Amino acid sequence: MSSPKIQKLVLLLSKLPGLGPRQATRLAYHILDQNRDFAAELAKNIVKLREIKRCSRCFQAHEERPEICSICSSASRDQNKLMVVEKDMDLETIEKTGVYNGTYFVLGGLMSPLREDSQRRIRLKELVGRVSSGNAISEIVLATSSTAEGDMTSRYIEKILEPHMAAKKIKLTRLGRGLSTGVELEYSDLETFKNAYLNRK
Amino acid sequence: MSSPKIQKLVLLLSKLPGLGPRQATRLAYHILDQNRDFAAELAKNIVKLREIKRCSRCFQAHEERPEICSICSSASRDQNKLMVVEKDMDLETIEKTGVYNGTYFVLGGLMSPLREDSQRRIRLKELVGRVSSGNAISEIVLATSSTAEGDMTSRYIEKILEPHMAAKKIKLTRLGRGLSTGVELEYSDLETFKNAYLNRK
Amino acid sequence: MSSPKIQKLVLLLSKLPGLGPRQATRLAYHILDQNRDFAAELAKNIVKLREIKRCSRCFQAHEERPEICSICSSASRDQNKLMVVEKDMDLETIEKTGVYNGTYFVLGGLMSPLREDSQRRIRLKELVGRVSSGNAISEIVLATSSTAEGDMTSRYIEKILEPHMAAKKIKLTRLGRGLSTGVELEYSDLETFKNAYLNRK
Amino acid sequence: MSSPKIQKLVLLLSKLPGLGPRQATRLAYHILDQNRDFAAELAKNIVKLREIKRCSRCFQAHEERPEICSICSSASRDQNKLMVVEKDMDLETIEKTGVYNGTYFVLGGLMSPLREDSQRRIRLKELVGRVSSGNAISEIVLATSSTAEGDMTSRYIEKILEPHMAAKKIKLTRLGRGLSTGVELEYSDLETFKNAYLNRK
């Protein structure tokens, strides 16, 4: 019904996470209704993403230097601590808390029981390489979400890193489980209460 | 925290309707994580929107011919009927129903009690021009949403079109009010029941 | 786990519409935690419901007089108009609007394609009796919800009342369909737009 | 509008948690529409709540024996462990997990910064009495919700129990904080991530 150009854009926008066809249509028409500078600016900045590199050590998106990101090259960060996260968004959320002062490793996804290619899709080989290489790591924190996929991924990483841990005396930890802020006990699930009880202190 | 290029894109995406900063960040990183062809394709299709014109009669977005859209130039559409709608999305929704066989006029927005520039922002002058010009219109249907802004806009249009109606014997109607599909009487508001009762048949 | 008395009460409360077992448990403990006067008062007022009668003409719940409710016996109500509603709650909602000044007939439910006993369960026989009896009715308004069950019920009533309408010159109407208050055109369904268009005025 | 008896019942039902006037009206009419046995049964079981006692040791609702509930008198429960909870519902949720094998103390509410009577309203004096009395308690677990009120209550209890702890060598713990089941890191708040990080293991 609508113009083929709108239809094509709607199709592309619908591939983005959280955008159904209706919301995609709304966005397409909204971009159309702005003055042309907006569309040009938006397109230009999407193209510019190609200039973003991934750090060769932690694989986070960055554009500061050719190879190593500012966290991996910072003298004020604890280079002996390595936190394994799923994606850039997680790293960004964690940095905002200001609680963690070590380095990161961005997996680029989680393993999934539904996808056979899970192990190739995420940077497991690179993680093993990083850990087994010469760098002095004292602790690895597995900071995946407490979902089925997050747990599956952490368990798998524990298994493949195991041969390297003992030899190098690396401590492997996972984020603590328990009551999240704001949880009412009455609504907590078995697993959460169990963890909260076992991790009481 | 994140790369300046991501930040810039997030800023632009946040201006789109329904996208908060968090969702915008998610979209930006998602585009980054796709292969480069996707970003290039997306950008290209956003730029191409500039080739979309607006029909000089009904102002809907179209790209078929230089001036007049396929509805305005169709011999199988009732050119004596004119339905006034807020935006392209509404026109698209209505066309999908297949119920209406006349022509349209796209206002490009609604008046708002909160915005002083309402009357300049939408195509009121063009609507008056269309109605007062030589075309034989027998009925104008005001098809705005049944919201405060939709009602305000319809009332204003009735007022400014009035001088032209009597002379030209044009019938001016509004979409019927009543129970929408699926509404339970128990939850209906006063205005809706009142309209449903007065419009009983 | 909890006391058998709490469990029994939870079981009964769970049978009420909209109360799942968790909410029912919360209510039961809440009643327990109030002072005893509250529970006694609540129980007393539940028992007292048995003193509520149904009007022998319109079947609404009332307690004013032995037989006929205040609406059916009011000289200031238009006794020639009869509005057929599903349940007391609907009648109450409609009375609050102040739009309607006739009388009612409370069906006590709707027909359902899923229940074979629909026709016996609701007061269809009583409705036919009321209409075919001597009272001078000039208009019957079928005021069911605009749901599948509401529509099915209204269609069935039209069919069974038909033989009585022509002879008595009774007008049979249904509540008007169209845009409910607050509906945005962009989100309206086919049926609603179609009705809004056909009922334009 | 509706009958005074319905109105009175609606008023009482509206005082229950989570029931607004509309839902209360729906429940009242639903009870009215059931056969009379249901209303009688419901009322009877509400009245019977008065036979429920509170255990003189842990204050949970019970009806088994005159004084002491089955948990407080069970030889198979660890009588040296005491878990302090807000209300019966919490105790019930915890018992369903099967994780905890000690005894309880039901506060009967939480302190609130908005209510001056907080300290009298909940069983703080009774808790101090229980702890300071002769019973051999080795650990007290404060199992309040991880909300502002839950935290305020736990902090206050820590303060008033402190004089009794050292002398009796009682360990005082709180439920562990961290990621609840199903939490995605990207959506976790500062406090939750901080706790999850500090409680990593």
Least confident span in B171-175, C45-49, D61-65: D61-65
Nearest CA distance, B37 vs chain C (angstrom): 33
Provide, as residue numbers in chain A, all residues whose Cβ is less than 8 Å from the Cβ of D96: 190
- Residue C195 amino acid letter: N
**Tokens of residue D30, six digits:** 């639903």
Distances (CA, A) of B93 to A22, A189, B72, B85, C93: 10, 43, 17, 11, 32
E strand or H helix at B162: helix B148-168
What is the rounded CA–CA span in Å between residue C103 and residue B82? 41
- State which residue of chain C sits closest to D45, comparing Cα positions: C9
- State which residue of chain D sits closest to C43, comparing Cα positions: D43
b/e for C89-104, b at 16 or more Cβ within 10 A?
A: bbbbbbeeeeebebbb
Within 8 A by CB and 6+ apart from C101, the residues are: C76, C77, C78, C81
Q: So what's the pLDDT on residue B3?
A: 84
Of A145, A172, A46, A12, the closest CA to residue A87 belongs to A145
Q: So what's the pLDDT on residue B134?
A: 66
pLDDT at D14 over 80: yes
**What average pLDDT does this structure show over B59-75?**
87
Q: So what's the pLDDT on residue A198?
A: 95
**What average pLDDT does this structure show over A101-106?**
97
Write the pLDDT tens digit of every residue in B11-60: 999 999 999 998 999 999 999 988 889 999 999 999 999 999 999 999 99
Provide, as residue numbers in chain A, all residues whose Cβ is less than 8 Å from the Cβ of D93: 185-186, 188, 193
What is the rounded CA–CA span in Å between residue C91 and residue C97? 10
Q: So what's the pLDDT on residue B156?
A: 95
Q: So what's the pLDDT on residue A66?
A: 67
Within 8 A by CB and 6+ apart from B11, the residues are: B24
**What average pLDDT does this structure show over A12-30?**
93
**Tokens of residue A12, six digits:** 């592309």
E strand or H helix at D105: strand D102-106
**Tokens of residue C131, six digits:** 């209409």
Of C103, C180, C46, B112, the closest CA to residue D30 belongs to C46
E strands, C107-196, are 139-142, 171-174
Compute the mean pLDDT over every residue in chain A, rounded to the nearest whole number. Answer: 92
Domains and CATH numbers, chain D: 4-50 (1.10.8.420), 78-174 (3.40.1360.10)
Phi/psi class of residue B109: alpha, beta or left (left: φ > 0; alpha: ψ in -120 to 50)?
A: left
Q: So what's the pLDDT on residue A137?
A: 92
Q: So what's the pLDDT on residue B65?
A: 63
**What average pLDDT does this structure show over B72-91?**
95
Q: So what's the pLDDT on residue C110?
A: 94
Phi, psi of B144 (to 5 degrees): -90, 160
Instruction: For chain C, positions 40-59, list CB contacts with chain D under 8 A.
Output: 40-52
Mutate to test the interface with C, among D1, D2, D95 (most CBs of C within 10 A): D2
Write the pLDDT tens digit of every residue in A112-171: 887 777 777 899 999 999 998 866 899 999 999 999 999 999 999 999 999 888 778 899
| ipTM over 0.90 threshold | no
**What average pLDDT does this structure show over A9-37?**
93
- Residue B20 amino acid letter: G
**What average pLDDT does this structure show over A59-77?**
88
pLDDT at D65 over 70: no
Write the pLDDT tens digit of every residue in D119-156: 778 999 999 999 988 668 999 999 999 999 999 999 99
E strands, chain A, are 53-54, 61-62, 78-85, 102-106, 139-142, 171-174
Q: So what's the pLDDT on residue D1?
A: 54
